[in-house]
Amino acid sequence: MVLNDKSTGKPNSKRHGPRSGSERQRPELEAKPGLDARMAASRILAAVIDRKTSLDGMLDAEHGNPAFTALNDADRSLVRAILQTALRHLPRIELILKELLDSPLPEGARALHHLLIVAAAQMLYLDIPDHSAVDLAVEQANRDPRNRRFAKLVNAILRRIGREKQALLEYVSDVPCMPDWFLDRLIDIYGEDHALAIAAAQLEPVTIDLTVKSDPETWAKTLGGRVLPTGTVRLDPFKGTITALEGFEAGEWWVQDTAASIPAQLFGSLDGKRVADLCAAPGGKTAQLVLAGATVTAIEQSQSRLRRLAANLERLKFQAETRCINLLEIEDEEGFDAILLDAPCSSTGTTRRHPDVLWTKDSADIAKLATLQERLLRHAITLLKKGGRIVFSNCSIDPIEGEMLIDKVLADHPDLRIVPVEPANWRGLEEAITPRGEFRTTPAMLADKGGLDGFYACVIAKT
């Protein structure tokens, strides 16, 4: 490898000034298959990294970023794959570019940075032929007045990536793919080995997990999956269309990460109980509560998300009362027998599926969300009957949104106590149960079975 070979080509300073007439007549708008997808990917990457916009909303088929919604289905899948890959491997790709550049990109050359990241992600981590990625990136540079003068540089850097791919991948193979602030935080919390295992786990392909209404063993056989300690049916690997699988139309199962299936199971039987699911949409846990025999009130403040929940319950042929309201406005004199509060959180446990999370949130966001969760939990407690149980959960791996928050609330409530989870009921997941009986999964756990999301769940009883 020639990492310090400075033959990468330089910005063409002659092209700095106003464009000549002949340049202006370039056939710039000639259609080039795949170019729109790359341009959309670069634009959306800019929104994630520079403007901290979450990826999910921008990749929504109807209301997403216009550059995305304008694409056909194949290009949309490609953009999704490019962005997930680029964000997952961002520190490694940035390091490779840094090594190959003679000098750092000019201050503010963000469009060029994003273009290079998008192209390099395809060449290094996706099955896209090098020549196609390079040609499209050069064309993309030529079409953007901000990047045109760097087209030769783009060409030179990307060709080197093509030539030296294996050595470059080897060179960055130990680099944890997380922002430093987050890795440092994980090391403080979990120790270095576990933190690095979490960083490695988020680069593994994600599995498809199904919660089934009944008989997981038979469904595992039917769908070619296996049953996990949570009762989840895991399809791994899965390629295809979920909605085409047997049992989807009939409403026999729903997609739910195995870690996300844990909190609602912690109540045990809910036969005849009146249960509130306070942050309910899109409804995976509402469905579990109905399945466990509860009469469920599903509370959700977002109208559009509540519509999704209603559609999901309809497919599953489940019934629940639904209310579109901020849970802080609810009063219930009778009190619920049980409450699930699956609170909005930093989602730092879901970076395998949502690699944008670490690039759109920071420690101040996490602290803010913890404060919100505390308010929600304190209010939820007022809605619980004496003798009732509340399960507090979220998909963060930061204890300030979990264990520490529970400590704070319990310190003010002598009438509340943690009901420890019984490890004997969770064979194969014992490592996820804390000494005082909470559930604390991280993406580094269940590694031999394909991993799981990071989740926190705690059962609290009111006396």
Q: Which stretch binds ligand SAM (CB under 6 A): 2-10, 233-241, 298-306, 411-419?
A: 298-306
Give the C-alpha separation, 235 to 450, whole Å: 10
The residues that bridge with 227 in the sheet, in sequence order, are: 233
Q: Which stretch binds ligand SAM (CB under 6 A): 68-76, 142-150, 324-332, 455-463?
A: 324-332
> Residue 345 catalytic?
no
Give the C-alpha separation, 362 to 180, whole Å: 11
Interface with ligand SAM, residue 454, by CB under 6 A: no
Interface with ligand SAM, residue 328, by CB under 6 A: yes
Whose structure tokens read 């196609």?
132
Pairing of strands 439-441, 455-462: antiparallel
Interface with ligand SAM, residue 402, by CB under 6 A: no
Say whether 283 counts as a known binding-site residue. yes
Give the C-alpha separation, 413 to 392, whole Å: 15
**Closer to ligand SAM by Cβ: residue 32 or 368:** 368
3-state secondary structure of 426: coil
Interface with ligand SAM, residue 342, by CB under 6 A: yes
Residue nearest to ligand SAM (CB): 279
**Closer to ligand SAM by Cβ: residue 127 or 329:** 329
State the minimum distance, in angstroms, from the CB of residue 405 to ligand SAM.
15
**Which of the residues 226 through 245 are near ligand SAM (CB under 6 A)?**
none
State the minimum distance, in angstroms, from the CB of residue 330 to ligand SAM.
8
Say whether 120 counts as a known binding-site residue. no
State the minimum distance, in angstroms, from the CB of residue 394 to ligand SAM.
7
Say whether 280 counts as a known binding-site residue. yes
Interface with ligand SAM, residue 302, by CB under 6 A: yes
Q: Which stretch binds ligand SAM (CB under 6 A): 32-40, 112-120, 209-217, 320-328?
A: 320-328
- The residue annotated as part of the active site, out of 177, 345, 395, 458, is 395
What type of residue sits at position 259?
A
Interface with ligand SAM, residue 361, by CB under 6 A: no
66 alpha-carbon distance from chain centroid? 22
**Closer to ligand SAM by Cβ: residue 177 or 281:** 281
Pairing of strands 416-418, 253-255: unpaired
State the minimum distance, in angstroms, from the CB of residue 275 to ligand SAM.
13
Interface with ligand SAM, residue 311, by CB under 6 A: no
Interface with ligand SAM, residue 301, by CB under 6 A: yes
Give the C-alpha separation, 438 to 417, whole Å: 12
Among 79, 138, 316, 327, binds ligand SAM (CB under 6 A): 327
Q: How many Å from the N-terminal Cα to the C-terminal Cα in the chain?
A: 67
Cis peptide before 282 (omega within 30 of 0): yes
Closest Cα to residue 279, out of 421, 396, 394, 409? 394
State the minimum distance, in angstroms, from the CB of residue 283 to ligand SAM.
5
Provide the mask over 268-287, with x wherever binding to ligand SAM is found by CB under 6 A and - wherever it is not. -----------xxxxxxx--
DSSP characters over 152-215: HHHHHHHHHHHHTHHHHHHHTTT--SS-HHHHHHHHHHH-HHHHHHHHHHTTSPPPEEEEESS-
Pairing of strands 295-300, 321-324: parallel
Say whether 129 counts as a known binding-site residue. no
Say whether 247 counts as a known binding-site residue. no
Main-chain dihedrals φ then ψ at residue 210, nearest 5 degrees: -120, 135
State the minimum distance, in angstroms, from the CB of residue 232 to ligand SAM.
14
**Closer to ligand SAM by Cβ: residue 58 or 343:** 343
Interface with ligand SAM, residue 326, by CB under 6 A: yes
Contact 292, 260 (CB under 8 A): no
Interface with ligand SAM, residue 54, by CB under 6 A: no
Q: Which stretch binds ligand SAM (CB under 6 A): 35-43, 209-217, 223-231, 300-308?
A: 300-308
Give the C-alpha separation, 286 to 298, whole Å: 7
Closest Cα to residue 45, out of 99, 11, 94? 94
Please count the CA atoms within 13 angstroms of the CA of 174 that sit on its side-chain side.
Answer: 1
Whose structure tokens read 């989602």?
347
- Token reading at 20: 């000549």
Q: Which H or E run contains 301?
A: none
Annotated binding-site residue numbers:
279-285, 300, 342
Annotated binding-site residue numbers for S-adenosyl-L-methionine:
279-285, 300, 342
The residues that touch ligand SAM, with contacts defined as CB under 6 A, are 260, 279-285, 299-302, 305, 326-328, 342, 344
Q: Which residues are catalytic?
A: 395
